[in-house]
Amino acid sequence: MLKYVIKRLVYAFATLLLLITVTFALMHMLPGDPFTGDKKIDPYILKQMKIKYGLDKPIYIQYSNYIGNLIKLDLGVSLKYKNRTVNNIIRESFLYSFDLGLRALIFAVIAGIFLGVVASVNRGKKLDSLAIFIAVIGVSVPSFILGSLIQYFVGYKFSEFLMFKFHLGYRFFPVSGWDTSWHKILPPFALGLGALASVSRLMRSSMLDVLNQDYIKTAKAKGLSEFKIIIRHTIRNAIIPVITYLGPLSAILLTGTFVIEVIFNIPGLGSDFVESVSNNDYTLLSGLTIFYGTFLILSSVVVDILYGIVDPRISLEGGER
């Protein structure tokens, strides 16, 4: 297992280096610069600003300096926000994005697996149709529309009904901010519904495939109850595609989703990323991209290792036992 982990880490490092190189090249191809914006600036001042941040040097020197700083885990200083390092920006914003993403991930995985199992066991029945309907809604409705609808009908209309019905002086479901526990209900639901739909579809499809396997038929012939068959045999084998999906899903949810963060006014990584693009903030843009890429790569490594834990038939050396 150690040999496999080292091999995967080497591949991960090579992928990360390629990501750094491509990101560095692309961000220098963006039109404009981070200093002028919509206003004109004195050419001398612009030259001094470029000298200060090392943008006057040849690209290969900038690249080598950047790699050297990355080795020291220094992502540089933001070119747009004065006296703020990229490390500090990520450290501050990631706490909000991680909290939001973790809640959405837990909700999506637990509810999605449960919905997929219920749908597969009740194939062709009303519960199956309900699960498919929820999955279609989650996949087809864009997050900005879904978030706005949840804000209006749950955060506004339903909260007003509760306030009137029970004579409350506060709203159960605030639609802006990330301060109290009540603020942390609607955003994870809006963010996690799309992921829930994908998880439930994967789980349903995988469950239906496993339920038709010979060993399941043998277990039924031996007299095992349907509940024991599902818990002991079916779910463990059917959940493997879901685990595969959890790698990129975790990276996406835990590193921030711009739409939901903007709609619910949450100061996470998503807004920082978009602002770094519009501001041509090279260091912040590359820092966020590298942080996101690292998160995604490590998630993939963890998923690969989990394969061998969930299903002993899968060998960590790349084959089957």
Would you say residue 18 lies in a domain? yes
**Confidence category of residue 196, pLDDT binned at 50, 70, 90:** very high
Neighbouring residues of 60: CB distance < 8 A, sequence distance ≥ 6: none
pLDDT in tens, 42-77: 677 777 777 776 777 888 888 888 888 888 888 888
Neighbouring residues of 84: CB distance < 8 A, sequence distance ≥ 6: 77, 78
pLDDT in tens, 249-303: 887 788 767 788 888 988 888 778 877 877 778 788 888 888 888 888 887 777 7
Q: How many residues does the chain have?
A: 321
Residue showing tokens 């982990």:
5
SS (H, E, C) 11-45: HHHHHHHHHHHHHHHHHCCCCCCCCCCCCCCCHHH
Q: What domain range is 105 assigned to?
A: 2-310
Instruction: Give me the percent of the chain exceeding a pLDDT of 70.
Output: 88
Would you say residue 209 lies in a domain? yes
Whole-number Cα distances in Å, 46 to 49, 56, 258:
5, 10, 31
Scanning 212-239, the segments in alpha helix (DSSP H) are 214-221, 226-229, 235-238
Give the global pTM.
0.77
Residue 311 pLDDT > 60, yes or no? no
Q: Vertex 248, ends 247 and 254: CA angle to 5°?
A: 95
Rounded CA separation 271/240 (Å): 33
Q: How many distinct structural domains can be found in the chain?
A: 1
Neighbouring residues of 14: CB distance < 8 A, sequence distance ≥ 6: none
Would you say residue 128 lies in a domain? yes
pLDDT in tens, 114-173: 999 999 888 888 888 988 888 888 888 888 888 889 988 988 888 888 877 777 766 778
Residue 35 pLDDT > 60, yes or no? yes
Structure tokens that stand for 79 in this block: 């070119």
Whole-number Cα distances in Å, 160 to 99, 154, 165, 172:
27, 9, 8, 9
Q: Vertex 261, ends 93 and 196: CA angle to 5°?
A: 110
Q: Vertex 15, ends 9 and 20: CA angle to 5°?
A: 125
Residue 88 pLDDT > 80, yes or no? yes
Highest average pLDDT, of 74-83, 204-213, 255-264, comes from: 204-213
pLDDT in tens, 168-190: 766 778 888 898 888 899 999 99
Would you say residue 318 lies in a domain? no
| Beta strand residue intervals within the chain, DSSP E | none
Would you say residue 224 lies in a domain? yes
Would you say residue 317 lies in a domain? no
Structure tokens that stand for 269 in this block: 């990584």
Would you say residue 321 lies in a domain? no
Would you say residue 83 lies in a domain? yes
- 136: domain CATH number is 1.10.3720.10
pLDDT on residue 38 = 55
Number of Cβ within 10 Å of residue 110's Cβ equals 13
pLDDT on residue 58 = 84
Rounded CA separation 259/281 (Å): 20
Rounded CA separation 120/131 (Å): 9
Rounded CA separation 62/55 (Å): 7
